[in-house]
Amino acid sequence: MNSTKILCTLGPATDPPGTVAALARAGMNAARLNFSHGDAAAQKPRYDAVRAAERELGAPLAIMADLQGPKIRVGRFPQGPATLAAGAMVVLESGDGPCSADHLFVDYPELAASARAGADIFLADGLFHLTIQRVDGPRVHCRIERGGTISDHKGVNLPGVPLRLPSLTEKDLRDAIAAAQLGCDLIALSFVRSAGDIGRLRDHLHAHQFDLPIVAKLERPEALDQLEAIVMAADAVMVARGDLGVEVGVARVPILQKQILALARRLAKPSIVATQMLESMTAAPLPTRAEAADVANAILDGADAVMLSEETAAGRYPLETVRMMRAIADQAEPLVAPCAAGEGATGEPIAEAVADGVRTMAGALSPKAIVAYTESGFTARLLAKCRPAARILALSPNEAVRRRCSLYYGCDAAPTPPIAQTDEIFLAADRVLLARGLAAPGDCVLIVAGLPFSRRGATNLIHAHVVAAPGGA
């Protein structure tokens, strides 16, 4: 059973038939479709592969559509990847012309207006470092401080420069609806700057009769000034360390990661840590020791999920990478600290008290499992943030909710018909626990739910239950 959830980016490396199902068997719990690289039509075969794997395994798999956002990128290199040599000069210019080693075209019309002599420009998540020497009309002349081989569509960062771009682009608005129509389970919003960005995307989805959870990607310095408001407005958060590190400095990222994860856990919002987690496995069959420690520390910091990007989308060893991440998580999870009583800030005092009660009862009874009947997923999220030693089993009649549980720490999900009477919960819990081998007749489990059952988001019931034998009273 996977406690820490693994989110895999799909791409060319996962397109061969059977690969997505193999990733799921190896430990993938959710898939990311990157709308920076392909629209809904291009992503549909990958979406279909996830749903086929879900049917094959008989377990829910969430699909997250990741919107591009106002990401500035270089154009294409018609002659193939080019080498930017340290100490050489390169010109950056707005437009969509062909890129070369001495002239890069960038898809940001305000590039020259934003540029200032002496300022830094970073490419490809900071791999390349340029300093601006002068601005000559539309052309920005830069010296290459740190070079290397660059290829198509790499990202461009101008740290400290307020972007003259909307947080939600027209492409994002189109892609969000297309992803919802495709059937994706979550939408990730890139370069969030304020809680209002979350509200605008939610309003846009509602206007088209869609209600999908929104993942706030935290990668802009402006977001740090409104962090709590953003986390409260979002349904989940991602520590997107690539752009975040370039914008605020790599040295700040570890502490920011801890602060963001602690806040998300306090508010019972699922959290994802992303970027360069096992990057060396893009080309090598084993990670570095530092990468293994990074994954473990993200789990110990409180991440619900850890994400693989290029490692699975375009790497040589996607399956081995997932297996390695699962192995590292297995070693780290026994050391994950439970949430202390009274740490919640969800605005639901009764539900928080119930979670504290579950924590106390679990310490006294050592239940085999904690069963949550949930119509909205709130009860399962609340229990997941507590990090109990016992497995959480979310029973829900809602398929979308069961898939969302694929990103909740320590939580599995199973279908059940809508429940109207308390006794029905006990029967449903016994049936699933026995079928999955999570408990045996006579074992103690805790059952958590909300009364009345038809009311969403009300968690007010704890019951210590003894599992009955099949057909027993």
Q: Are residues 376 and 426 in the same domain?
A: yes
CA 432 to chain centre: 28
- Residues 48-68, mean pLDDT to the nearest whole number: 97
Q: pLDDT at position 5, please? A: 98
**CATH at residue 402:** 3.40.1380.20
Rounded Cα gap, residues 223 and 259, in angstroms: 13
Classify residue 362: in a domain, yes or no. Answer: yes
Q: Are residues 204 and 304 in the same domain?
A: yes
Q: pLDDT at position 46, please? A: 98
> For the segment 102-111, what is each residue's pLDDT rounded down to a tens digit?
999 999 999 9
Answer whether residue 1 shows pLDDT above 80: no
Classify residue 343: in a domain, yes or no. Answer: no
The three-point CA angle 265-266-268 to 5° equals 60
Rounded Cα gap, residues 265 and 271, in angstroms: 8
Classify residue 429: in a domain, yes or no. Answer: yes
**CATH at residue 151:** 2.40.33.10
Q: pLDDT at position 347, please? A: 82
What does the DSSP assignment read for 124-176? Answer: TTTTEEEEEEEEETTEEEEEEEE-EEE-TT-EEE-TT---SS-SS-HHHHHHH
Confidence of residue 459 (pLDDT cuts 50, 70, 90): confident
Q: pLDDT at position 273, please? A: 98
Q: Are residues 95 and 223 in the same domain?
A: no
With contact defined as beta carbons under 8 Å apart, do 366 and 388 qualify? no
Q: pLDDT at position 421, please? A: 87
pLDDT, averaged across the chain: 94
Confidence of residue 472 (pLDDT cuts 50, 70, 90): low
Count of H-run helices and E-run strands, the chain: 16, 22
Q: Are residues 360 and 303 in the same domain?
A: no
User: Where does a domain end: 123, 157, 191?
Assistant: 157
Classify residue 342: in a domain, yes or no. Answer: no
Q: pLDDT at position 162, please? A: 73
With contact defined as beta carbons under 8 Å apart, do 29 and 5 qualify? yes
Rounded Cα gap, residues 298 and 446, in angstroms: 29
Confidence of residue 167 (pLDDT cuts 50, 70, 90): confident
**CATH at residue 35:** 3.20.20.60
Q: Are residues 414 and 298 in the same domain?
A: no
Q: Are residues 298 and 376 in the same domain?
A: no
Residue 305 domain boundaries = 5-69+167-334
The answer to whether the predicted template modeling score (pTM) of the entire model surpasses 0.85 is yes
Report residue 235 as tokens. Answer: 């349904």
Answer whether residue 197 shows pLDDT above 80: yes
Domain count across the chain: 3
> For the segment 67-92, what is each residue's pLDDT rounded down to a tens digit?
999 889 999 999 999 999 999 999 99
Q: Are residues 119 and 231 in the same domain?
A: no
Answer whether residue 473 shows pLDDT above 70: no
Closest CA to 369 of 437, 318, 451: 437
Answer whether residue 306 shows pLDDT above 70: yes
Cis check: omega of the bond before 452, within 30 degrees of 0: yes
Q: Are residues 259 and 244 in the same domain?
A: yes
Q: Are residues 153 and 171 in the same domain?
A: no
Classify residue 341: in a domain, yes or no. Answer: no
Q: Are residues 148 and 173 in the same domain?
A: no
> For the segment 322-372, what is each residue's pLDDT rounded down to a tens digit?
999 999 999 999 999 888 766 667 888 898 899 999 999 999 999 999 999
Give the range among 22-31, 56-65, 166-175, 282-291 with minimum mean pLDDT.
166-175
What does the DSSP assignment read for 314-352? Answer: T-S-HHHHHHHHHHHHHHHGGGPPPPPTT---SS-HHHH
Classify residue 272: in a domain, yes or no. Answer: yes
